[in-house]
Amino acid sequence: MPKIYHERLVNAKEMVKKAHAGKYAIGHFNINNLEWTKSILEAAQASNTPTIIATSEGAVKYMGGVKTIVGMVNGLLEELNITIPVSLHLDHGQSVEMAKKCIEAGYSSIMFDGSHLPYEENKQKTKEVVEFAKQYEVSVEAEIGSIGGEEDGVVGQGELGDPTEAQEFSTLGIDMLAAGIGNIHGKYPEWWTSLSFETLEKLQTASKMPMVLHGGSGIPQNQVEKAISLGISKINVNTELQLAFRDATRKYIEEKKDLDDKTKGFDPRKLLKPGADAIKATFLELTGWFGSQGKAK
Distance from the Cα of residue 45 to its chain's centroid: 17
**Backbone torsions φ then ψ of 264, nearest 5 degrees:** 55, 50
Q: Which is nearer to ligand 13P, 74 or 239 (CB)?
A: 239
Question: Which region, judged by CB under 6 A, interacts with ligand 13P, from 38-46, 131-139, 211-219, 226-234?
Answer: 211-219
* Residues paired with residue 87 on neighbouring β-strands, in sequence order: 52
Distance of closest approach, residue 162 Cβ to ligand 13P, in angstroms: 19
Give the shortest CB-219-to-ligand 13P separation in angstroms.
9
Q: Please tell me whether residue 239 binds ligand 13P under the rule CB under 6 A.
A: yes
Q: Nearest Cα to 52, choosing from 110, 137, 97? A: 110
The nearest distance, CB 242 to ligand 13P, in angstroms, is: 7
Nearest to 70 by CA among 60, 80, 62: 60
Greatest pairwise CA separation for the chain in angstroms: 64
Residue of the chain from 202, 214, 234, 280 that contacts ligand 13P (CB under 6 A) = 214
Q: Does 237 bind ligand 13P (CB under 6 A)?
A: yes
Specify the residue, 4 or 203, whose C-beta has the smaller distance to ligand 13P: 203
CB of 15 to ligand 13P, least distance (A): 17
292 binds ligand 13P, rule: CB under 6 A: no
Question: Which residues 32-61 are close enough to bind ligand 13P by CB under 6 A?
Answer: none
The verdict on whether 91 is a catalytic residue reads: yes
* Site membership for ligand 13P, residue 143 (CB under 6 A): no
Smallest separation, CB 180 to ligand 13P (Å): 11
**CA-based radius of gyration for the chain:** 19
Q: List the interface residues with ligand 13P, window 168-197 (CB under 6 A).
A: 185-186
- When asked if residue 124 is in the footprint of ligand 13P (CB under 6 A), the reply is no
Taking residues 89 to 118 in sequence order and writing x for each that binds ligand 13P by CB under 6 A, - otherwise, the string is: --xx--------------------------
DSSP states along the chain = ----S-TTB--SHHHHHHHHHHT--EEEEE--SHHHHHHHHHHHHHTT--EEEEEEHHHHHHHT-HHHHHHHHHHHHHHTT--S-EEEEEEEE-SHHHHHHHHHHT-SEEEE--TTS-HHHHHHHHHHHHHHHHHTT-EEEEE-----SEETTEE-S--B--HHHHHHHTTTT-SEEE--BS--SSSPPTT-----HHHHHHHHHHH-S-EEE---TT--HHHHHHHHHTTEEEEEESHHHHHHHHHHHHHHHHTTGGG-TTTTTTSHHHHTHHHHHHHHHHHHHHHHHHT-TT---
Taking CB under 6 A as the binding criterion, the range among 37-45, 195-203, 215-223, 280-288 that sits at the site for ligand 13P is 215-223
By beta-carbon proximity to ligand 13P, the closer residue of 175 and 252 is: 175
Q: How far is the CB of 54 from ligand 13P (least distance, A)?
A: 7
Q: Among 126, 157, 196, 238, which residue sits at the site for ligand 13P (rule: CB under 6 A)?
A: 238
- In the bound state with ligand 13P, the residue whose beta carbon lies nearer, of 160 and 237, is 237
Looking at the annotation, which residues are catalytic?
Answer: 91
Q: Which residues bind ligand 13P (CB under 6 A)?
A: 30, 91-92, 185-186, 214-217, 236-240
